[in-house]
Structure 1
Amino acid sequence: MIIRVNKDICTQDHSCLAVKVCPVYALKQTGFDAPTVLEERCVKCGRCVYYCPIGALEFEDGE
């Protein structure tokens, strides 16, 4: 399972609030672009998924 950013939902016009709740700094945002998930850091705790107010971060089956 991986966490991905659904860019069709993400408004990409603000500082992402979910970036701040990641305990291992696995979300990175440049300017107001959609954040990216650094998979090598992500521990799949789901905090960002549950915290994103618009539901743009999602669990996805990988591999």
Structure 2
Amino acid sequence: MALTVDALLCPQNHRCPLIPICPAGAISQEGNSLPRIDPGKCIECGKCVKRCGMQAVYKAKEHGQTL
């Protein structure tokens, strides 16, 4: 299951604080845009899910979505 960022929950008005938390370097962001999670790099450790204060990061299937 891939992790995803919900654009409706992510404020997108600052540098994402989850980028340095990701041990695999799977989270990237251009400017203050919506952060992206590279499924090829993501090890699904869950650190970003636990640390996102806006609860904008989740496993897609948990929310009934597919990528």
Tell me the residue number matched to 1:43: 43
Aligned residues: 63
Report Cα offsets for 1:16-35 as digits up to 9, x if no partner. Answer: 01111000100001100110
Residues 18-57 of structure 1 aligned to structure 2 (within 5 Å): 18-57=18-57
TM-score, normalization by structure 2: 0.87
Percent identical pairs in the alignment equals: 30
CA distance in 2, matches of 1:15, 1:42: 19
CA distance in 1, matches of 2:3, 2:24: 14
Report which of the two has the higher share of strand.
Answer: 1
Residues 5-16 of structure 1 aligned to structure 2 (within 5 Å): 5-16=5-16
Unpaired runs of 5+ residues, structure 2, are: none
Q: Aligned-residue CA RMSD in angstroms?
A: 1.3
TM-score, normalization by structure 1: 0.92
